[in-house]
Amino acid sequence: MRFFYWLVPAAVLSLAGVACAQPARLLVDQKGDRSLAIVDPVAGRVIADVAEGGTTGHEVAASPDGRLAFVPIYGNSGVGRPGTDGNNIVVVDLAAHKIAGSIDFDHGVRPHCAVFGPRDGLLYVTTEIDRTVTIIDPRTLRIVGAIPTGQPESHMLAISHDGLRGYTANVGPGTVSVLDMKARRTVQVIAVSGSVQRIAVSNDDRWVFTSDQTAPRLAAIDTATNSVKRWVKLDGTGYGSAATLDGRFLLIAIPSADAVDAVDLKTMTVTHKVAVGKAPQEILVRPDGKTAYVSCVGSNQVAEIDLATWKMTRSIATGKGADGLGWAK
């Protein structure tokens, strides 16, 4: 792999104070517009659209200091389908509302899901073609290593809160790879179903969840035994998910139902269903734990859910193909 980056140090330094003073922003990757929307979550409106200059980004992750956003440029197709193979990650300056750099691979890898390590501050990005998770130092924008997943189509990544384990949803094989993040190796590959999508970890790191794409059910993987221990019946085939801040519920998008199911993690049953926009994809729980945001690719909007009342309280209009979500403090 090779890499390149460009940043203007003086400009970046001059913006540091401005960036730190910025209010929290919701980030929405807009696949149809090939751009990143920066949303004021208080006003509920897009305040900037940043063209990504690539075809096409699906996901986004914000740096812990809220200065930068990282958008892997996946390509012009879906996972496992023919099309272009993206070979870079776009870096966006969130204060200046413009591209600040790029991390380049020397071949197409279909980079997709970007996650910051909770303890080490490194950026981990799934690189499907290489069957790896690539490791990036966000301070230098350098590629510093990789973790093999042992499976094709390692599309999504979740990391345990202690930073010790990583889990990838391997779509086509219908498996989950368990990764040792420090040793940078695959610990185990767990067979789940004919196909899976998305992945999430419970707040206590006891459970890993991924959605069966062949049936309306959610696999609950026991992290102590690395095996599927429970199946949770859903109101349709599940997709993106996120745990509430109190750890009580797992929210899961049901694209076919235009809804979000809330799974009570004590009983492993769906106890709430919230109608949202068309074809919900990804869910982000706001850091204060009071609100969840749901990207709705079919209606070009982000739905806002009040987690106290289990109702959609607002719809935020975005560009075309709202998908990946991020939060910049």
Determine the Cα–Cα distance for residues 329 and 325; give it in Å rounded to an integer: 13
Kindly give the pairing relationship between strand 259-264 and strand 249-254. Answer: antiparallel
Instruction: Give average pLDDT by consecutive 10-residue segment, the chain, 329 residues.
Output: 40 39 90 97 98 95 97 96 97 98 97 97 98 97 98 98 98 98 98 98 98 98 98 98 98 98 98 98 98 98 98 98 97
Determine the Cα–Cα distance for residues 146 and 130; give it in Å rounded to an integer: 10
- Whether this prediction's pTM lies above 0.85 is answered by yes
Q: Give the position of tokens 């799974």.
A: 263
- Both structure tokens of 2: 């090779």
- 299's enclosing H/E stretch is none
Q: Are 267 and 253 in contact (CB under 8 A)?
A: no
Report pLDDT digits (tens) over 280-296: 999 999 999 999 999 99
Q: Are 167 and 175 in contact (CB under 8 A)?
A: no
Report pLDDT digits (tens) over 162-175: 999 999 999 999 99
Give the per-residue pLDDT at 54.
86
Q: What would the 3-class secondary structure string for 70-96 be?
A: EEEECCCCCCCCCCCCCCEEEEEECCC
Report pLDDT digits (tens) over 63-89: 999 999 999 999 999 999 999 999 999
* Those residues with Cβ within 8 angstroms of residue 99's Cβ, 6 or more apart along the chain or in another chain: 50, 51, 52, 53, 90, 91, 92, 93
Give the per-residue pLDDT at 21.
57
- CATH number for the domain whose boundaries are 1-148: 2.130.10.10
